[in-house]
Amino acid sequence: MERPLILVTNDDGITAPGIRNLVSFMNEIGEVVVVAPNSPQSGKGHAITINSTLSYEEVQLDGPQKDFSCSGTPVDCVKMALDKILPRRPDIVVSGINHGANSSINVIYSGTMSAAVEAGVENLPAIGFSLLDFSWEADFTQAKEYIQNIVRKTLENPMPKGIVLNVNIPKLLKEEIKGVKVCKQAHAKWEESFDERVNPHGKKYYWLSGYFNNMDESPDADETALANGYISIVPVKFDLTAYEYMNTLSEVMNFD
């Protein structure tokens, strides 16, 4: 059988250790093409480039796959891959492995997950992987078998169109990971503030700071699973409609 075509991307940049590990894991499963940003794009969410040009170039890195460095955002990378680079539609898109968590509310800020969601917009199976370790020296190999198994199961069991997976991995040794749990997105948010400073010329500038506030201790929340040593999988879709409020809103907005 023809090996599956796997598109790999990320938001930390094409040379980040997380994506280089993911590429090596995916090479054992299928034919891999990498299209990733040429510089870090963390926190870009679903941003696309519209006021400047885009470019890409093939680069020689590691392994047998083809690597393409793109000047745009993670979503730009997926769009460019589908329109200009790939020989055919991929069988799956995998994004990551992100350096740091994309659980809970982080999913809406994440370039890693936005790349996966963009694939979902195109009705492609997609998974975003994140490790709860911001270090550039993070050990991604501890979760290798879990990552590969999740990809294989997704290839073998197609998801409904438009649904993608948000996978977060605790910072643990392989033998310490208790397993995998399908979860909901925890109700949490960043409590943010801007630290005001003044530069030598007297002009004010600001650094974003704050802390993560988890308000959800329910057993099926992703933050709970991660805190208890499990890999969390949250099915995500790009349809943001609040269906449960549609009837009430119709009544509220009735001007007859």
Distance between CA 84 and CA 64 in Å, rounded?
A: 20
* Mean pLDDT (the chain, rounded): 95
DSSP annotation of 243 reads G
pLDDT in tens, 214-244: 888 899 999 999 999 999 999 999 999 999 9
* CB-count exposure of residue 39 (10 Å: 0-12, 13-18, 19+): exposed
- Residue 30, phi-psi category: left (phi > 0), alpha (psi -120 to 50), beta (remainder): beta
Domain ranges of the chain: 5-186+217-251
Class of domain 5-186+217-251: alpha beta
pLDDT in tens, 58-112: 999 999 999 999 999 999 999 999 999 999 999 999 999 999 999 999 999 999 9
Distance between CA 45 and CA 107 in Å, rounded?
A: 8
